[in-house]
Amino acid sequence: MKNHLLPPLLKSVVLWVLYFALSFLYKAVLTPSGNIIGPAGESLFRQGMIAFITALIAGAAEFLIDRKRITNSQSYLFARMLSMVFIPYVFMLIWSFIPAVAGNINMEWLRVSYVNLAAFAAFYFAVLLERTLEEVVFQKGLIILTVLLFTLTLFFTVLLTIQTPVVNIFTDPSFSS
């Protein structure tokens, strides 16, 4: 589909605005179900998952707007699914870069600015990936992989938003209690 309503940069701005809104929505929703649309804490994982939810909501809205212009529905759908999976992981990689190289970001305004920059960059990269993947013919194996990765990401977004496990990513796991 070559007739996109928004160019990649503008679509990324729209995604970032929605992400920004969803990031603060949880403060207004004091019920436990509010955790599914917003982080209960400011963890990197939860911010990545809110980026995924942002892309999911925007993807549904975009489909409703674009549905009459879609020429290849299979590529349209799977390009968006794969880019949605891509977003939280790229966001976490970008966000982790500065703390990994220079240490913790202690100034609140700088940390908030950097998390927003990481989100915007992840959205922009995902939009570019999505536009490229729309031109690809998805073979059966890639369709299965896309559905599996999307399903796992959606599952973890819902399940781990309700109860976040303690995962030792950067340290040796301790099996003693």
Q: What is the pLDDT of residues 100-137, one digit of tens each?
A: 888 888 888 888 888 889 999 999 999 999 999 999 89
Q: Does residue 151 sit within a domain?
A: yes
Q: Does residue 71 sit within a domain?
A: yes
Q: What pLDDT is stored for residue 82 in this prediction?
A: 95
More confident residue, 15 or 167: 15
Domain holding 17, by residue range, is 9-25+42-162
Q: Does residue 36 sit within a domain?
A: no
Q: Does residue 72 sit within a domain?
A: yes
Q: Does residue 3 sit within a domain?
A: no
Measured CA to CA in angstroms, residue 89 lies from 36, 48, 98, 162 at distances of 18, 7, 16, 19
Q: What is the pLDDT of residues 141-155, one digit of tens each?
A: 999 999 999 999 999
Q: Does residue 168 sit within a domain?
A: no
Q: Does residue 112 sit within a domain?
A: yes
Domain count, the chain: 1
Q: Does residue 78 sit within a domain?
A: yes
For residue 108, what are its two tokens?
Answer: 């609140």
Mean pLDDT of the chain: 83
